[in-house]
Structure formats: C-alpha cells, structure tokens
C-alpha cells in the first residue's frame, strides 16, 4: 500500500513539472505615437503562425517577427510614407522583433525581447506581458533618441511627433 501511495505521489509530482505552454495562433506588431495634432497607429497585420511558446528556459523557445517596414499600414498613404521615411525603409527594409523567452514573476508574465530597428540592436529584459483569454500583450516605450532617429515634423514644424513611441506586441492565443 505504501508503494502504491509513493508511486501515485511521484506521478503527481512529475505532472507538476510540465512547462506551461502558450499556443500562438496569430501575431501582430503595432507602433503607436502622438503628434501635436493627434495620435497615430501603424500596424503589421495579424499573421497566422500556429507556434508554441513555453514559460521558462526551454531550448529553441523564441518567437521571431521579421517585418518588412513597407508592410506597416498607418491608415493613409501620407502617414505610410512618413513612417517609412522615418524608419529609413530604403536603408533598413526589415524590422526584427524576437520574444526570446517568457517567464512567470510572482503574479505576472514577463519576457525578454531583442529588437533590431533601423540598424540598432536593443535587448530588453523583464518586459511585462498582460494576459487575458485571447492574447498576451507586451508594450515597450522607445525613444527616437535611443534609435538615433529624428522625430519627424511637417508644415515647417507645426506638426511634430512626440519623442517617444510605443511598440506593442500582440500574441493571439488558441482558445482553450
């Protein structure tokens, strides 16, 4: 009887060692910013992927976004052109974002990111990912200064983009 109880406890313990997994159905990147006359939002569409991310340090556990800068949509051709010029799409045609790992904090989920934008490599640790039933969502604030870019302006400086932009990473989950 003791052997059966011990075996049962071992099976339960081994089951608790399984890594928590997120099955990602779609991914999307959104860049948000503010100008002196309003807000703007540019996105790279919901790309179907069907990939899995595990919590913790599993080998080969990353999710990569290789985004052609010309594929970002900002709502109209003027904003699209300004966005592409600002990110130097001719010189740096691809933006790369990598979710390198996800891990659980005391109550929340965090991730480490690697971003290559306009030729600058950025490593960001402990990025908070909000989780609901439908998606994981991470947000990062980037400044034009750290990207060594000049904030665009129009109409002789009357319309200026604020110094900080937000990069939002949406990972849409397969419904449970």
**Residue 153's pLDDT is what?**
60
20-173: what fold? Lipocalin (2.40.128)
Distance CA 51, CA 44 (A): 18
pLDDT tens, N- to C-terminus, the chain (176 residues): 556 455 544 444 444 444 688 888 888 889 888 877 778 788 887 767 778 888 877 666 788 888 898 888 888 887 788 888 888 889 999 999 988 888 888 888 999 999 998 888 999 999 999 988 888 999 999 887 887 877 666 655 556 666 788 999 999 988 76
* Tokens standing for residue 87: 């990110």
Q: What is the dihedral of CA 141, 56, 27, 87, to 10 degrees?
A: 40
In terms of pTM, does the model score above 0.85?
Answer: no
Q: Where are the beta strands (DSSP E) in the chain?
A: 21-35, 38-54, 63-68, 94-104, 109-117, 120-131, 135-143, 153-154, 159-160, 164-173
Say if CB 170 and CB 45 are below 8 A apart: no
**Residue 10's pLDDT is what?**
44
């Amino acid at each position: 009887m003791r052997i059966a109880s011990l075996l049962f406890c071992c099976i339960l313990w081994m089951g608790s060692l399984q890594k928590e997994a997120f099955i990602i159905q779609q991914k999307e990147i959104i860049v948000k910013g503010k100008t002196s006359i309003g807000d703007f939002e540019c996105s790279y569409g919901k790309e179907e992927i069907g990939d899995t991310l595990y919590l913790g340090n599993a080998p080969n556990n990353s999710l990569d976004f290789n985004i052609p800068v010309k594929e970002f949509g900002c709502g109209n051709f003027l904003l699209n052109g300004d966005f592409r010029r600002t990110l130097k799409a001719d010189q740096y045609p691809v933006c790369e974002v990598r979710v390198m790992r996800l891990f659980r904090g005391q109550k929340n989920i965090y991730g480490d990111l690697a971003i290559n934008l306009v030729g600058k490599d950025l490593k960001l640790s402990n990025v908070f990912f909000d989780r609901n039933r439908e998606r994981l969502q991470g947000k990062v604030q980037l400044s034009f200064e750290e990207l060594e870019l000049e904030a665009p302006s129009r109409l002789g400086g009357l319309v200026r983009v604020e110094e900080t932009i937000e990069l939002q990473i949406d990972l849409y989950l397969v419904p449970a």
